[in-house]
Structure 1
Amino acid sequence: MNNALTPRFDSVQCLDARGLHRMAYVEWGDPANPKVLVCAHGLARQGRDFDTLAQAMAGEYRVVCPDVVGRGRSDWLADPMGYAIPHYVADMVTLLARLNAQEVHWFGTSMGGLIGLGLASLKGSPIGKLVLNDVGPRIEFESLQRIGQYLGAPAHWATLDEAADALWAISESFGPHTRAQWLALSAPQLRPDGDGFKPHYDPGIALPFGLVTREITAAGEAMAWQAYEGLRCPTLVLRGAESDLLSRETAAEMARRGPKATVHEFPGVGHAPTLVQADQIEVVRRFLLAP
């Protein structure tokens, strides 16, 4: 008998401009369940961020948490300019074909939400419900500048505890966590590096990110609003009440436009809620499992 709380590790081959790359994913729940929940992570994170959420949903879903290419156990791209949302969307189309999913719900944090938005806006998209975690069509440029200060910077830590402290210094906006919760989130973020650890992502993801200007951000916003206006699936927007990436005004606009999303704010949290807290998980459960 399959144990729904035991993770299974697999990968799928995806096409890029230089050939093929391998996208890894971790899967929870009954592999025969036709109901699939895909959880997609943020810019410099990886799929194990969702272990707690996946275990909470594994009784109702086959939960699949990919490592977006360049992160976690996935391959790194030969051409770093391939680290872009349209390419990630194409990879996810390949993943969904592998899963042969009949019903797909999508949970996306930050970058993972933008991937979900792009996928859900496609004609014939299989996305039946969409959760956008602290992200929307309008992204505050100052927040991108803040992230750019540390993204791809060389780092080496002697121990897990040292690494966790350093990661917390740039992630305090995630909100309150116990030490055990933060260590669990931090360990998959690391890869061995000689006598210590380094970040578990390709520093090359910083190259296209660093080319983003205020003008490019504005042009991307116009395209993202167009995609959002075309959504036909029920949509939930989660917002950290202190977020510097998704403003309260943008979240309110998302409630008025397109799918007229339900918006829920978490107090004491910035960018972005990690969904390891019981109250955060309960909000997602209620939305996804509602008829």
Structure 2
Amino acid sequence: MMRFSTSDGLKLYYEDEGSGLPVLCLPGLTRNARDFDDVAPHLDGCRVIRLVSRGRDRSDFDPDPSNYTVTIEARDVVELLDHLQLERVVVLGTSRGGLIAMTLAATAKKRLAGVVLNDIGPRIEPDGLQKIIDYIGVPPKGRDFTEVGAALNAAMGDDFPGISDLRWTMLAERWFEETRDGIALKYDPKLAEVVKEGSSAPAPDLWPLFDMLEGIPLGVIRGENSNLLSASILEEMQLRRPDMASATVPDRGHVPFLDEDESLGVIKKVIEMVDR
């Protein structure tokens, strides 16, 4: 198990496999390294690195939950790159991971060789944010992964039509863990407090961060049924960055799994655009 120490003393888990162009995978708000299991086999010729943010899965929980911020998590990314002695990486950022990528454009732009944003942009739709607030910190419903998978299907199935029961069970295994007391959260429940407190403040203007990606190969993937990244915001992003690779994935909500043809097309286009 690979871990490195942050400047404030936490040990964060990461995975590092393959060789070639380094692609740093940053998962969503409550997610972990397993979210990139579907796309990893398609990243031939790449060194695939997955960082699990503080307070999630095998990374240390922060004794001060107020540190669960995009800014500090972006600092953790830079410290991982320093630990690995990597000057630049392509960032594949899912949701929260994409927000971290945009923050890095403002704080450490030279470390970005390319960026792919998975179902995230400079405006987060209120309905999508409210859905996150409603579920974050709530223990999973079910006595085993099969039952939890069925509950996920009931809650998310309309946005992800056609997903098999087997895959819902697999997603439950990725997102939660089995304990003596049953199926439990795979992240610090105190993360919910930080998110809910932050949601009460006016939404920040993230367009300046998006604009700071200028000059960096950029791609955006959107789920057709996403409630977090709207079609109109994706259109505005495209107008600001005509060179941006983008695709909308049918039958996917927040977030696409990244093994879809449309997702892989965007990722591969960005990789092809990287100056090596």
TM-score, normalised with respect to structure 1:
0.86
How many angstroms does 1:156 deviate by? 5.9
Q: How does 1:1-291 map to 2 (within 5 A)?
A: 9-16=1-8, 20-30=9-19, 33=20, 35-57=21-43, 59-155=44-140, 157-172=142-157, 173-174=159-160, 176-213=162-199, 215-217=201-203, 220=204, 222=205, 224-231=206-213, 232-257=215-240, 261-290=244-273
Q: Decide whether aligned partners of structure 1 residues 143 and 104 sit closer, same or farther in structure 2, where only a CA change above 3 A counts.
A: same
On the 8 A contact 2:149/2:165 being kept in 1, the answer is no
When the two chains are superposed, the root-mean-square deviation of aligned CA atoms in Å is: 2.1
On the 8 A contact 1:26/1:48 being kept in 2, the answer is no
Q: Decide whether aligned partners of structure 1 residues 155 and 266 sit closer, same or farther in structure 2, where only a CA change above 3 A counts.
A: closer
Q: Decide whether aligned partners of structure 1 residues 255 and 236 sit closer, same or farther in structure 2, where only a CA change above 3 A counts.
A: same
How many angstroms does 1:23 deviate by? 1.0
How many angstroms does 1:258 deviate by? 5.3
Q: Distance between the aligned counterparts of 2:225 and 2:91, measured in 1?
A: 24
Cα deviation, 1:98-133, whole Å, max 9, x if unaligned, reads 121244101111101001111133355211111011
How many angstroms does 1:90 deviate by? 0.6
Q: Distance between the aligned counterparts of 1:99 and 1:149, measured in 2?
A: 37
Q: Decide whether aligned partners of structure 1 residues 228 and 243 sit closer, same or farther in structure 2, where only a CA change above 3 A counts.
A: same
Other structure's SS at 1:62 match: strand
How many angstroms does 1:14 deviate by? 1.1
Q: Distance between the aligned counterparts of 1:174 and 1:119, measured in 2?
A: 31
Residue of structure 2 equivalent to 1:4: none
On the 8 A contact 2:38/2:257 being kept in 1, the answer is no
Question: Which residue identity is paired with 2:222?
Answer: R
Other structure's SS at 1:15 match: coil
Structure 2 segments unaligned to the other structure (5+ residues)? none
On the 8 A contact 1:39/1:65 being kept in 2, the answer is yes
Larger deviation: 277-286 or 185-194? 277-286
How many angstroms does 1:157 deviate by? 3.6
TM-score, normalised with respect to structure 2:
0.90
Question: Which residue identity is paired with 2:12?
Answer: M
On the 8 A contact 2:90/2:115 being kept in 1, the answer is yes
Q: Distance between the aligned counterparts of 1:283 and 1:180, measured in 2?
A: 27
How many angstroms does 1:51 deviate by? 1.0
How many angstroms does 1:279 deviate by? 4.5
On the 8 A contact 1:156/1:193 being kept in 2, the answer is no
Q: Distance between the aligned counterparts of 2:191 and 2:69, measured in 1?
A: 9
Q: Following superposition, which runs of at least 4 residues in structure 1 exceed 6 angstroms of deviation?
A: none
Q: Distance between the aligned counterparts of 1:215 and 1:144, measured in 2?
A: 13
Structure 1 segments unaligned to the other structure (5+ residues)? 1-8
Q: Distance between the aligned counterparts of 2:265 and 2:246, measured in 1?
A: 14
How many angstroms does 1:158 deviate by? 2.2
Question: Which residue identity is paired with 2:101?
Answer: G
Q: Distance between the aligned counterparts of 2:106 and 2:225, measured in 1?
A: 28
Other structure's SS at 1:211 match: helix
Other structure's SS at 2:228 match: coil
Residue identity over aligned pairs, in percent, reads 31
